[in-house]
Amino acid sequence: MLNKNIETFLGFDAEYQESSFVVFGAPFDSTTSFRPGTRFASKVMRSESFGLETYSPYQDADLTDYRLFDGGDLELSFGNTERALEQIEQFTAKILDDQKIPCMIGGEHLVTLGAVRAAAKSYPDLHVIQFDAHTDLREDYLDQRLSHATVIRRVWDLLGDNRIYQYGIRSGDRPEFEWAAKQHVFMNKFNFDGLEDTVQELQGKPVYLTIDLDVLDPSVFPGTGTPEAGGVSFMDLLTAILTVSNLNIVACDVNELSPVYDQSGVSTAVACKVVRELTIALNKKL
């Protein structure tokens, strides 16, 4: 009762040493050109996660069955993008070095680049599965090469062809779609059709899973910077997560919740439930 006030994500009550799975926040949105606010996501999710239960009736399993650690939020350099990515890379590398699975809560999607850099060092054969409404494949955006709109292109710079699998894509400019069509990345538009095949293909490979929550329809997830109509339902996303959990996922992230645009709190509740289900799905396999 008279210890310092500790605040962690629901069910993430283990110490670092004993844990196998580490959640942390990357509160950064400096390159967001349209509507900022994803910097608040991890803090708000920690607080609101207590509206959820620890038990998943979908998987008949409970967060309390596993040893989960919450490392809090990184203090990132606003306005200095490259420095912020280094901070993320360093923190992710530490977790990977300690043989744990990092699960980063964004922030804008650019934060993924920092974590993928770390994962690609640990796992040179890294593959990336991306659930997203947007391609994020631009070469540059508003004169910048490091941006939420270029992040997967930067990941491709790092990993090369045949390593990236995109699902749910429904927005981008024409050159992005054309570039993708040249088979630099595998892109499945609009939904999760074909995800089973990808899972077959990637058996045994190390996989980084990045979930941009705007893959969900804005009716389900209004609280995001760039809502894009025509997305998937929560049950679609849940099924997709359970499907890919059969792979060797070595690191993951969940990003683009912007609580500022989530007045009713439903998007935050969805984001928390995604983290719960993802955590349970990945820990069941360990």
How many alpha carbons fall within 13 Å on the CB side of residue 275?
A: 35
* Residue (21 or 127) nearer to a second copy, CB: 21
CA–CA distance, 5 with 50 (Å, rounded to integer): 15
Tell me: does residue 20 bind a second copy (CB under 8 A): no
Please say which residue, 106 or 206, places its beta carbon nearer to a second copy.
106
Q: 232 to 251, contacts with a second copy by CB under 8 A?
A: 234-235, 238
Q: Rule CB under 8 A: say whether 139 interacts with a second copy.
A: no
Does position 136 interact with a second copy (CB under 8 A)? The reply is no
> What are the structure tokens assigned to 176, written together?
């992005």
Distance CA 96, CA 92 (A): 6
Asked if residue 136 belongs to a known ligand binding site, the reply is yes
Number of residues that bind a second copy (CB under 8 A): 85
Contacts 24+ apart (CB under 8 A), 160-165: 161/185, 162/186, 163/126, 163/127, 163/128, 164/127, 164/128, 164/130, 165/127, 165/128, 165/129, 165/130, 165/198, 165/202
Angle at 284 between CA 119 and CA 281, to 5 degrees: 70
Could you say whether residue 30 binds a second copy (CB under 8 A)?
yes
For residue 126, the minimal CB distance to a second copy (Å) is 24
Please give the backbone phi and psi of residue 62, each rounded to the nearest 5 degrees, phi first.
Answer: -135, 140
> Would you give the binding string for a second copy spanning residues 86-125, x where CB under 8 A is met?
-----x--x-------------------------------
- Whether residue 127 is annotated as binding a ligand: the answer is no
Q: Is 162 a residue that touches a second copy (CB under 8 A)? A: no
| Residue 54 contacts a second copy per CB under 8 A | yes
Question: Does position 173 bind a second copy by CB under 8 A?
Answer: yes
Binding residues for Mn(2+): 109, 132, 134, 136, 212, 214
